[in-house]
Amino acid sequence: MDNAIELAGVEWQAGKSFSLNQLDLNVPTGSIYGFLGPNGSGKTSTIRLLLGMTKPLAGRIRVLGMELPGRLPNVLRRVGYVPERPHVYPALTVAEQLRCHASFFPSWDRRWADDLTERLGLDTDRKIARLSKGETGKLLMLLALAQRPALLVLDEPTDGLDPVVRRDVLGAVLDYVAETNATVFISSHLVHELERICDWVGVMDHGRLLAELPMQQFKNGIKRIQVHGAPEVPLEPPFTILTREPTNGLGARETWIVRGWESPMRAYFDDVGAEVHDVIDLDLEESFVELLRSARPSDPQEG
């Protein structure tokens, strides 16, 4: 499988308090990849690295098949970027900002920019300083999409937007992907939002990539199971035990959160003399929280 983004053994340091350590990340070409993690987990730092805004201390970065930093200008011509903080000029009108942005991209599609402007309900004569947060979010997405990118990098693109604006913004992204098969790398802490649109997911916490796999596999593979007579020391289980806790008021029964579960794995408990009472599906947000909870260090970093 070809990858639109590849990070291998990447290391980066921000002062003494935060670092990315041996980060490996692979975003399949044509996928919508949800980059999940709480605020401060390293999502924006990773995006800055793959866009050449900062340089790694070690490791290799390839974007759209090209090595960074050597091929950075060629990469950026084919990347649409919506940053966490707006990068537009308040004194300009919407029309002036569109013309300014278009001058940097030979691939700019003026006709589609006009269509998006109408679809998103933007007033081209209005100064950016007078736009609402939702209107500014729409403008940022328009700027990224109208340059017809092969890779769309979105850093918390809908954070703080109301549900109607979020629907409009994400709808424009999905329509673009359906038309062009572009790759989308979308960073967010809004788990429920990514669940609806992404086919791959990566989970970051404290500068580490905790998981990277197809969305459906992630959703289906993390379970809450009720175990009676669980062994004190599990003997090479075929799944990963994230947490195990006594089930209140139920004697020898425990609640396990496991990752990588498949139905035939029930046989493992027969072999160790235990019994599974329930296997409970978790939604994406519950799976995300349990994965973070099991991986949190005792003295977490910040960054």
How confident is the model over 53-97, as pLDDT tens digits?
999 999 999 999 999 999 999 999 999 999 988 889 999 999 999
CA dihedral 150, 7, 43, 240 (to 10 degrees): 120
The residue to which tokens 């100064």 are assigned: 127
The DSSP call for residue 127 is B
Q: Are residues 175 and 225 in the same domain?
A: no
Q: Are residues 242 and 200 in the same domain?
A: no
Per-residue pLDDT at 49 exceeds 90: yes
Q: Are residues 57 and 174 in the same domain?
A: yes
Q: Is residue 252 part of a domain?
A: yes
Q: Is residue 138 part of a domain?
A: yes
Q: Is residue 301 part of a domain?
A: no
Across 211-224, average pLDDT: 89
Q: pLDDT at position 107, please? A: 93
Q: Are residues 173 and 285 in the same domain?
A: no
Q: Are residues 78 and 132 in the same domain?
A: yes
Which of these ranges, 132-146, 171-185, 240-254, has the smallest mean pLDDT? 240-254
Per-residue pLDDT at 297 exceeds 80: no
Q: pLDDT at position 142, please? A: 95
Q: Is residue 130 part of a domain?
A: yes
Q: Are residues 65 and 172 in the same domain?
A: yes
Q: Are residues 231 and 190 in the same domain?
A: no
Q: Are residues 174 and 33 in the same domain?
A: yes
Q: Is residue 210 part of a domain?
A: no
Average pLDDT of the chain? 90
Confidence band, pLDDT 50/70/90 cuts, at residue 299: very low
Q: Are residues 11 and 121 in the same domain?
A: yes
Q: Are residues 43 and 172 in the same domain?
A: yes
Per-residue pLDDT at 128 exceeds 60: yes
Q: Is residue 300 part of a domain?
A: no
Across 165-193, average pLDDT: 90
User: For residue 133, what is the domain's CATH number?
Assistant: 3.40.50.300
Domain count, the chain: 2
Q: pLDDT at position 251, please? A: 58
- Is 20 within 8 Å of 11 (Cβ atoms)? yes
**Joined tokens for residue 223:** 């379970």
Residue 83, C-beta contacts closer than 8 angstroms, at least 6 positions apart: 140, 155
Host domain of residue 223: 218-295
Long-range contacts of 236-241 (CB under 8 A, 24+ apart): 237/265, 237/268, 238/265, 238/268, 239/265, 239/268
Across 146-168, average pLDDT: 90
Q: Which of 235, 275, 271 shows the shortest CA–CA distance to 251?
A: 275
Which one of 199-208, 230-239, 246-255 scores highest in mean pLDDT? 199-208
Q: Are residues 261 and 175 in the same domain?
A: no
Q: Are residues 27 and 142 in the same domain?
A: yes
- pLDDT exceeding 90 applies to what percent of the chain? 63
